[in-house]
Amino acid sequence: MCIRDSLSIDHPSTVADYVQLLERMDALFIQAALKERGLTAAPKKARKVVPTDPFILHAIESWLRPSADPAAEVVEHRLKDPSATATLIEAVAVSHARRHFPTFYVKQTSGEIDIAVVVGRRVYPIEVKWRRQLRPGELCLVTRARHGVAAARVESTRRVDGLPIVPLPRALALLGRGIWPPSEADRS
C-alpha cells in the first residue's frame, strides 16, 4: 500500500509528515538499514515503512479504499495472495522484534535480510520466510552472515546449507521473551 498514491499527495514532505504522524501513533514503524560500523541506523540508505499491527493496516486500507465488505475485499483478499501474506508476516515479525531489541534490516547489492537484531555488540540476522519449501538460493545472504537464522513456516528446527531454520512461532516466542539468539538446541 503506497500512502502517497492512495491520498494523491504530490509533495514528499507532506507524505513524510503523514508517515511521521502514523509512527507517533504507533501505527507504523520506520525500519532503518543497519550501518554495520557502529551498529546504528544508516542515514543515507532507504528506510522501510512497516505496519505495527495487521488490524491497523487493514483498518487504514479500508478507510482509504471504502468497500461494502472490507473483511472480504481487504483482509481475505490479502490472505489469498501468498506474496501479500508473506509481506504481512514479515511486518509482524519486525514489529515483534523491535519491541525487545534494536532492530534494523540489512541492505546489500545482492539483496536484503529482513531483520537485524542487535544484542550487545553483536548483530543477529533473521530472514523471515512464510513458505514450507525453502530454497538455498533465497537464503544465501543470511547463510553467509555470521549468527544468521531463518524463521520460517516449518514444523521443527532444521538446517539448510548449515543455516538454522527455526519455526516462526518459536522465533517470535524467543524474541518476545527477550531471548536471542536461539540456544544451540534451537539452532541444531
Alpha helices in the chain (DSSP H): 3-7, 12-24, 54-64, 70, 77-80, 82-98, 140-144, 168-176, 184-187
| pLDDT of 8 above 70 | no
Percent of the chain, pLDDT > 90? 38
Across the range 64-87, mean pLDDT stands at 87
Grid cell in block for residue 15: 507524505
Percent of the chain, pLDDT > 70? 91
Instruction: Return the pLDDT at 1.
Output: 46
Grid cell in block for residue 16: 513524510
| Rounded CA separation 151/44 (Å) | 28
Grid cell in block for residue 46: 532507504
Mean pLDDT lowest among 52-61, 118-127, 175-184:
175-184
- Backbone region of residue 120 per phi and psi (left: phi > 0; alpha: psi in -120 to 50; beta: other values): left
Phi, psi (rounded to 5 degrees) for 186:
-75, -30
3-state secondary structure of 120: coil
Confidence of residue 184 (pLDDT cuts 50, 70, 90): low
Q: Which residue has the cell 516466542?
A: 173
Convert the pLDDT of each residue in 168-177 to its tens digit.
999 999 988 8
pTM attached to this predicted model: 0.85
Across the range 96-121, mean pLDDT stands at 90
Q: Which residues of 3-36 are buried (b: 16+ CB within 10 A; e: fewer)?
A: eeeeeeeeeeeebeeebeebeeeebbbebbbbee
Convert the pLDDT of each residue in 38-55 to its tens digit.
889 998 888 999 999 999
Instruction: Return the pLDDT at 120.
Output: 86
* Contact yes or no for 32/104 (Cβ under 8 A): yes
Mean pLDDT lowest among 80-89, 131-140, 150-159:
131-140
